[in-house]
Structure 1
Amino acid sequence: MDAELERTLAAIGPRLRALRRDRALTLAELSAMTGISVSGLSRLESGRRRPTLELLIPLARAHRVALDQLIGAPPTGDPRVHLKPLRHPRGMLVPLTQYPGRLQVFKQVIAPRPRRLVTHEGYEWLFVLAGELVLVLGDRELTLRPGEIAEFDTAEPHWFGPPGDGSAEILHIFGRHGDRARVRARPDA
């Protein structure tokens, strides 16, 4: 076996462990999701068991990642990302990530729409790229301009959209409750 293949295989175990821990899953919980025994998962994560497709496919499904990402496949040499815009009732939506259950990032062009406050579980960040965005949080109304960011708990009644007949272009980040950004450094006051 060549050295590059050996390094790729050796990196799978730590990657599996990191994915499981990032999702706050126990070996027993992951075992129930995949049908792989707890001892088998432990041996995979520690590198004492060689990964096979029969083991990696259910793990990729459980972690909701592509098999390429799970095994750390070498890049193909083409750095282009071919995004597929989706029509949405609120405008155009371009998913930038595809990890259900984790942080989701979208580039969104929001068309005018009626104000209707909603609530749901989660946490959101909005970064305005172009245009203006009105954000209603409970009793408060804020107007965000290009370069401005808002973050909020979606359990609070909220609505956002352009103020008039125009549109707003934003980066929209949504995560499970608790996926809040962690500020590592703050500027001096």
Structure 2
Amino acid sequence: MSQTDSQIELADVVRQRIRGLRQARGWSLDSLSARCHISPSTLSRIETGNRRIDLEQLVALARALGTTIDHLVEPVDDADVIIRPVQHQEPGLTTWVLSRDAAQHAGRLVAKMRITAERRTGPGHLAVHPGREWFTVLSGTAVLYLGERQLAVRAGEAAEFSTMIPHSIGALGGPVEILTMFDQEGERAHAES
């Protein structure tokens, strides 16, 4: 793809984002015009690709739409959509991280885990760290050791708890697959265990 082709493609994306943001707010061209001081006919030509957008118009449109120029001109790249999780394995636990850098996701990490009986859990193997953890069981039955309690969490059920309570998750009666989410503190603690 030539530079000119990529510039045209980006201009089309910018136009779609402007129209999409305007429509998402339920605004007519006249409503947006009143907010950004660009005539409705010029806005229409910008959205349809019959007029180029100059920097001054882009600044006014971003401000009126409550966004940034960076957001409007951010290139489209499928690489930022598809996540190809890498399998991490240790005795009794296989983990696939399903989110990108936790800092980009409000400090949360999402992972799929497959737990088998070989994983050391229960009294004597409980962890404590700042944060919260949430998980849902995709298949099998998980056993959640939470302080002195032992809770069975079945397929279709979920659990959420403070990770300041001594805890561990194991498999009950066969392998279990869970989808889990925890904050940055929990990510650090799980990476160290």
How does the TM-score come out when normalised to structure 1?
Answer: 0.53
Query: 1:168 is matched by which residue type in structure 2?
Result: V
**Alignment RMSD, CA only?**
3.7
Maintained 8 Å contact 1:132/1:145? yes
| Paired position in structure 1 for 2:10 | 5
Query: 1:173 is matched by which residue type in structure 2?
Result: M
Maintained 8 Å contact 1:123/1:176? no
More helix by share: 2
* CA apart distance, 1:125: 0.5
| Paired position in structure 1 for 2:110 | 105
* CA apart distance, 1:83: 2.7
Task: Mark the runs of 5 or more structure 1 residues left unpaired by the alignment.
Answer: 12-44, 52-68, 178-189
* CA apart distance, 1:73: 2.8
User: 1:43-122 residue pairs with structure 2 within 5 A?
Assistant: 72-76=74-78, 81-101=83-103, 102-112=107-117, 113-114=119-120, 115=122, 116-122=125-131
Maintained 8 Å contact 2:102/2:184? no
- Return closer, same or farther for 1:122/1:90 CA change in 2, 3 Å cut-off: farther
Maintained 8 Å contact 1:105/1:171? yes
1:122-149 Cα deviation digits (max 9, x unpaired): 1100100111100011122110110000
1:80-118 Cα deviation digits (max 9, x unpaired): 643322213441111100223411110110122222111
- Return closer, same or farther for 1:147/1:105 CA change in 2, 3 Å cut-off: same
Maintained 8 Å contact 1:132/1:163? yes
Structure with max Cα Rg: 2
Maintained 8 Å contact 1:123/1:154? yes
Maintained 8 Å contact 2:10/2:75? no
Match of 2:137 among 108, 123, 128: 128
Indicate the SS of the match to 2:10: helix
Indicate the SS of the match to 2:102: coil
1:42-66 Cα deviation digits (max 9, x unpaired): xxx98xxx87xxxxxxxxxxxxxxx
Query: 1:111 is matched by which residue type in structure 2?
Result: T
Distance 1:95 1:103 in 2: 11
| Paired position in structure 2 for 1:32 | none
Indicate the SS of the match to 1:5: helix
Maintained 8 Å contact 1:121/1:176? no
Query: 2:152 is matched by which residue type in structure 1?
Result: T
Aligned residues: 125
